[in-house]
Amino acid sequence: MDTPIIFWIAFNGVVLVLLALDLFAHRGDKPVSVRDAAITSAGFVILSLLFSAYIWHWKGSAKAMEFLTGYVIEYSLSVDNIFVFVLVFNFFQVPAHYQHRVLFWGILGALVMRGLMIGVGAALIAQFHWILYLFGIFLLVTGVKMMISGDEEMDIANNPVLRFCRKHLPISDKYHGHDFLTKINGKILLTPLALVLIVVEFTDLIFAVDSIPAIFAITQDAFIVYTSNVCAILGLRSLYFLLAKAMVHFKYLKLGLGLVLSFIGFKMLIEYFVHVPTPLALAVVATILTLAVVASLIHNKRHPND
């Protein structure tokens, strides 16, 4: 690896400290207020920008721009996770004061899964560079499918993981506080909250299959890919509590995300013939997302009852 192991250890150490502080701050199963979510979201964004500045000082402006572009792409794509989290929590009727606990452990698991996927992806690209073109085709197809699907919602009831769990795992029929496991008549059962956690983990795995190849389109530096991914995911919990009730108003955001994935896929496919500079890629991504948000706001103003 180009990056010394001490930097990997230091970064993950800081991440663990931040997660511990977050868990301590939200002990007691209190619902997360919009104000707290806004402060926490801003805090994670500021920390990520400071880390980008450190990379600039350490590795130079090109690496810092790669980190920032990867962070923006991952952070924007993580918004799609929020759509699904809203659907899952509504489907299972998860009490508001248990939602943070699910997201905390869900995102902790997501960090581990993504770390493994990034490691495998970096190793494969190092051995078989042509895999980048497969990533490009996959992202292009995924982006087009996302644009075509529009407002189509995920069918939680027929989720294959949910059906498998209900068929093969012992599950209690009601919540038992914030516990994921309970004991009834001497038998250990999963609670519905554990089922929610499993579905959240599975959906994040699906989203990771889209987002991680997208960052490899910007850089093949495993440290940059990993840190930009982790920094974006760390802020996902607070972003959920900040935007969950407002997601319905971003009508064209999914279209924008589909365009972002398509653009990144196209960039990968033409890279051998035409190099798209990282600053230009960042500008294109930011422009697409800004236009999607502005178009959504204009639509809401013109059609308030839509």
Q: How far apart are CA 71 and CA 224, in angstroms?
A: 9
Contact assessment for residue 233 and residue 266, using Cβ atoms and an 8 Å cutoff: no
The DSSP H or E segment spanning 117 is: helix 96-127
pLDDT per position as a tens digit, 65-119? 999 999 998 888 887 778 788 888 888 888 888 888 888 888 888 888 888 888 8
What is the pTM for the complete model shown?
0.85
pLDDT per position as a tens digit, 145-155? 888 876 666 67
b (16+ CB within 10 A) / e for 152-178: eebeeeebeebeebeeeeeebeebbee
Give 17's contacts (C-beta < 8 A, 6+ positions apart). Answer: none
Q: By residue range, what is the domain housing residue 64? A: 5-302
The segments of the chain whose pLDDT lies below 70 read 1, 28, 150-154, 245, 247-248, 305-306
Question: How many domains are contained in the chain?
Answer: 1
